[in-house]
Amino acid sequence: MSYVAIADRDHEQEHHDPQTFITKYIWSQDHKVIAVQYGLTAIFVGLIALGLSAMMRLQLGFPDQFSFINPENYYQFITMHGMIMVIYLLTALFLGGFGNYLIPLQCGARDMVFPYLNMLSYWVYLLSVIILLISFFVPGGSTGAGWTLYPPQAIMQGTPGTDWGILLMLASLAVFIVAFTMGGLNYVTTVLQARCKGMTLMRMPLSVWGIFIATILGLLAFPALLVSAIMMLFDKTLMTSFFMPAISSMGADPGYTGGSPILFQHLFWFFGHPEVYIVALPAFGIVSDLLSTHARKNIFGYRMMVWAIIAIGGLSFIVWAHHMYVSGMNPYFGFFFATTTLIIAVPTAIKVYNWVLTLWEGNIHLRVPMLFAIGFIFTFIHGGLTGLFLGNVTIDLPLSDTYFVVAHFHMVMGVSPVLVVFGAIYHWWPKITGRMYNETLGKWHFWMTFLGTYAIYLPMHYLGFAGVPRRYFAMGNTEFLPDSAQDLNAAITMSALFVAATQILFFINMIWSLLKGPKSDPNPWNATSLEWQTPDHPPKHGNWGHELPECHRWAYDYSVPGYEDDFIPQNVPPDKAPAGRDHGEDH
């Protein structure tokens, strides 16, 4: 018997559509509902993290003006802000949110391969969020060790939250990783096993490619974080010494001996650098689809784009120690990691070129999702180029641990993915909800977010050049800094508060759309990929009604010569439309 993908064995599947409100929306096993649950939870914690960043910006912009900010809670704010944004917002939103929504729909599957596990993944994720939030309220408060949680200080008395905060933080991370693993195995298996007939790997939309490779990275990288969290829990509670050498802390000997703080850093960044791409690759994939759809043009160099995603994913595992050039590790590592790090710039640059070349000779509709996509290219170019400074071991000597680093990673890993998140929400909103939003309000939201964030992070690089260190509660009188550095900080704070406040536009727009928004067409952007070709709009449980779709072409047949429409959906057979240039035969 020849091989038949699980999803193609349609007659073997029986669909028990959920009957009650609870099974439909709460204990749901529908990937679309789980995606929304993941998305809403992630955005909720993201808003908390946004609030924390407003607090730290108030202190940096206007030191000594606010009685509710002191060094103790300032360090707690920065720690929780970073951790929430990287793990609980971006990772959860891109993979748990967009991954869940897009993989089955774009692959032409009825659902994830293991729907029950998929549901568990969300609830365990929610548990990790609850543990994280509890840590704000325990005695001593949440941990203030910085999001990198470097020992020894993460578990020593000079750091805020060493009684309970750090324990809950580590426990929450461990629980999150369990949740991610359940979801991640599902995403990978679904992509590999449940694609509809004709959906070869080389016909998949780049969104799926980005999410697929990012999930593989996550499955390989998160275990490093898990073991380091567990070992640090042991160091803290059982007085083991995995990461703790003999030290004298505040005049007393805490009783550790023989451990290595550098070991933790290697484990952390072995996870931490792939983590950057766990967030970035889905953004790369999604933005490719937004650009192609709204420019009415095929993505330029699809094959190259796929291989670049795979190459970046692979390389991301051998560059981690560029976060540690000045950590005191063996300095000869610097040669190796600087070289691998700068090599990764090549596939990344190719992706940027191909995005821009997709616009070339297109027919560009500057709708809201497209504005965000082009905004992303701009901020990503900026953030990528500053990465070439920090990745080069020599330049890291003056710039590491300064605001240049903060500006760089916010540009490349904060602003850029968040612009894609917004673009993606505006793009798929009609499919998810069946309604349209207000286009004008969406454009205002784009302009304020895009220009506002650039006003925050462009000047911030220059604080770094001037030598302002990151994670400083206050500078005090530092001789080599001009007084104007404080004025610049005040201006940055104003921009940051402005950007934070304007996000209200997004929520107003979306709530209005849910309540009163006009009904949308099933395929308002005239897009080719399968999620826009569902028989129901929005798609119902099981996605495809009685018959699974069949895929006949790649996802980028836009403006094919000799065809009247400027798009040919993936499920249109070759006898009804020209073949375009198909990569499907590669597999």
Partner 1 sequence: MPLAVVLILLVVGSLLFHVLSPWTFTELASNWGMVDFTVDITLYVTGFVFVAVNLFMAYCVIKFRYRKGARATYEPENKKLESWLTGLTAIGVAAMLTPGLFVWAKFVDVPEEAHVVEAVGQQWHWSFRMPGEDGKLGEVDAERITNDNPFGMDPDDPNGQDDVLIHSAEIHVPIDKPVKFLLRSKDVLHDFAVAQFRVKMDLVPGMNTFLWLTPTVEGRFEILCEELCGVGHHTMRGAVIVDSADDYDIWLANQSTYSELNAKSVGNADIGAAQYAVCATCHGQQGEGIAAMNAPKLAGQSAWYLKRQIMNYKRGLRGTDPSDTFGQQMIGMVASLADEQAVDNVVAHIRTFPDEPVEATIAGDVNAGAGEYRVCAYCHGKDGAGVQALNAPRLAGMSDWYLERQLQNFRNNVRGAHPQDYYGFQMGLMGQSIYDEQAMTDLVAYINTL
Q: Which residue from 201, 388, 497, 508 is in contact with partner 1, where contact means CB under 8 A?
A: 388
Residue closer to partner 1, measured from CB, 487 or 536: 487
Output phi, psi for 252, to 5 deg.
Answer: -130, 155
- Rounded CA separation 99/80 (Å): 25
Within 13 Å of residue 480, how many CA atoms lie on the same side as its CB?
A: 7
Binding to partner 1 by residue 246, rule CB under 8 A? yes
Residue 67 contacts partner 1 per CB under 8 A: yes
**Which of 458, 453, 455 shows the shortest CA–CA distance to 500?**
453
Question: Of 385, 442, 395, 441, which is closest to residue 416 (Cα–Cα)?
Answer: 385
Q: Least CB distance from residue 223 to partner 1, whole Å?
A: 24
Tell whether residue 261 is a contact of partner 1 (CB under 8 A).
Answer: yes
Does position 378 interact with partner 1 (CB under 8 A)? The reply is yes
Instruction: Check residue 171 for interaction with partner 1 (CB under 8 A).
Output: no
- 219 lies in the binding site for partner 1 (CB under 8 A): no
Instruction: Restricting to residues 139-158, name those near partner 1 by CB under 8 A.
Output: 144-146, 150, 152-153, 156-158
Q: Is 558 in the site for partner 1 (CB under 8 A)?
A: yes
Contacts of 501 (CB under 8 A, 6+ apart): none
For the segment 317-336, give every residue that binds partner 1 (CB under 8 A).
326-328, 331-332, 334-335
205 is a site residue for partner 1 (CB under 8 A): no
> Which residues are registered as beta bridge partners of 519?
435
CA atoms of 570 and 214, how far apart (whole Å)? 24
469 contributes a contact to partner 1 by CB under 8 A = yes
> Based on the number of CB atoms within 10 Å of its own CB, is 127 exposed (0-12), middle (13-18) or buried (19 or more)?
middle
Closest by Cα among 12, 194, 219 to 113: 194
**Contact with partner 1 (CB under 8 A) among 1, 19, 21, 479:** 479
Closest approach of Cβ 423 to partner 1, in Å? 13
Distance between CA atoms of 544 and 106, rounded to whole angstroms? 12
Contacts of range 31-34, beta carbons closer than 8 Å, 24 or more positions apart: 31/100, 31/101, 31/103, 31/104, 31/111, 31/112, 31/115, 31/118, 32/100, 32/101, 32/105, 32/432, 32/538, 32/539, 34/96, 34/100, 34/118, 34/119, 34/121, 34/122
When binding is defined by CB under 8 A, the residue of 1, 238, 250, 515 that contacts partner 1 is: 250
Residue whose CB is less far from partner 1, 17 or 253: 253
CB of 86 to partner 1, least distance (A): 16
Q: Cβ of residue 552: shortest distance to partner 1, in angstroms?
A: 16
Whichever of 149 and 224 has its CB closer to partner 1, that residue is 149
By CB under 8 A, the residues from 276 to 295 that bind partner 1 are 295
Q: Classify 435 as helix, strand or coil.
A: strand
Closest contact distance (angstroms) between CB of 116 and partner 1 is 40
Residue from 2, 484, 516, 546 touching partner 1 (CB under 8 A): that is: 484
Number of residues interacting with partner 1: please give it, by CB under 8 A: 124
Among 62, 164, 472, 512, binds partner 1 (CB under 8 A): 472
User: Is residue 298 close enough to count as binding partner 1 by CB under 8 A?
Assistant: yes
Output 37 or 159, the one with its CB closest to partner 1: 159
CB of 457 to partner 1, least distance (A): 11
Q: How far apart are alpha carbons 232 and 235 in whole angstroms?
A: 5
Return the residue matching tokens 């391969």.
113
Q: Which is nearer to partner 1, 326 or 500 (CB)?
A: 326
Residue 107 or 373 having the CB closest to partner 1: 373
Three-state DSSP string of 341-359? HHHCHHHHHHHHHHHHHHH
Strand partners, 469: 402
Is 459 a binder of partner 1 (CB under 8 A)?
A: yes
Which of 258, 535 has the CB closer to partner 1? 258
- Closer to partner 1 at the Cβ: 119 or 295? 295
Reported as half-sphere exposure (CB side, CA atoms, 13 A), residue 476 has a value of 3
Q: Which is nearer to partner 1, 377 or 510 (CB)?
A: 377
Contact 528, 555 (CB under 8 A): yes
Binding flag, residue 401, partner 1 (CB under 8 A): yes
* Residues 339-368 within binding reach of partner 1 (CB under 8 A): 339, 342-343, 345-346, 349-350, 352-354, 356-357, 359-366
Q: Is 24 in the site for partner 1 (CB under 8 A)?
A: no
Q: How far is the CB of 302 from partner 1 (least distance, A)?
A: 7
Q: Which residues contact 67 (CB under 8 A, 6 or more apart)?
A: none
Q: Which of 239, 397, 501, 579: binder of partner 1 (CB under 8 A)? A: 397
